[in-house]
Amino acid sequence: MNTIHTVNILVDNDSWILPYAKEFACWCESKGLKVNFARAQSELLNCDISFFIGCVRIVSSENLNKSRLNLVVHESALPAGKGFAPVAWQILEGKRIIPICLLEATNAFDSGDIWVQESFSLIGVELYDEWRRKQGEATLSICQNFINRYPQIEPKKQRGLETFYARRTPNDSELDIDKTIREQFELLRIVDNNKFPAFFSYRGKKYKLEISEYAE
């Protein structure tokens, strides 16, 4: 029976997910696992399991071969919703139950077998920092769930209609001045006031809007 003794945890950028990945690393160590916390593919070691959390670069075949199993988190009901920024897109669609999968990382994009599938809930008023916190907590939970259950769990093949979400850019935070706030509230929920703020164009100029909860 294969058991887990050594773990890679890779976060290859300065992502918002970094504190949750570090918390997961500490949790793994508390379980007696030897953890290599990597910030670049070149730092990956030969190990039992590798977790790629919030990564923005495709992991090479050479580095995938360093682990018996490579896992990545994706927040959609795969194979629907492959691609980029799945939580933001689903908030725009008005969804409040967000699926989250722990799947095998392969050379085919978001197409590996699913090892664990869970979900987290939104109530429809969470702004960027709030729903990111829920996403981070769900990421931590699903990775811990895998460690606790392995090797008594079996992966499942993806089944169903394959769809893709496009990469979002700062230009996607543009508001339509002819629409109401109510009509664009979901868009306001997914903007980051610093990195990709809401803005609108009027009379030849661009104006930035910041949103936060009003505490009376």
Which residues, at least 6 apart from 48, have a Cβ–Cβ distance to it below 8 Å? 2, 3, 4, 5, 6, 7, 67, 68, 69
The pLDDT value given to residue 2: 73
**Domains of the chain and any CATH numbers:** 6-165 (3.40.50.170), 170-209 (no CATH)
Q: What is the mean pLDDT of residues 110-138?
A: 97
Q: Which residue, among 116, 127, 114, has the nearest Cα to 87 in the 3D structure?
A: 127
Query: At residue 205, what is the residue type?
Result: K
pLDDT in tens, 164-194: 999 999 999 999 999 999 999 999 999 999 9
Q: Which residue, among 22, 213, 19, has the nearest Cα to 128 in the 3D structure?
A: 213
pTM of the model: 0.94
The pLDDT value given to residue 215: 85
The model's confidence at residue 109, banded by pLDDT at 50, 70 and 90, is confident
Q: Is 185 left (phi over 0), alpha (psi -120 to 50) or beta?
A: alpha
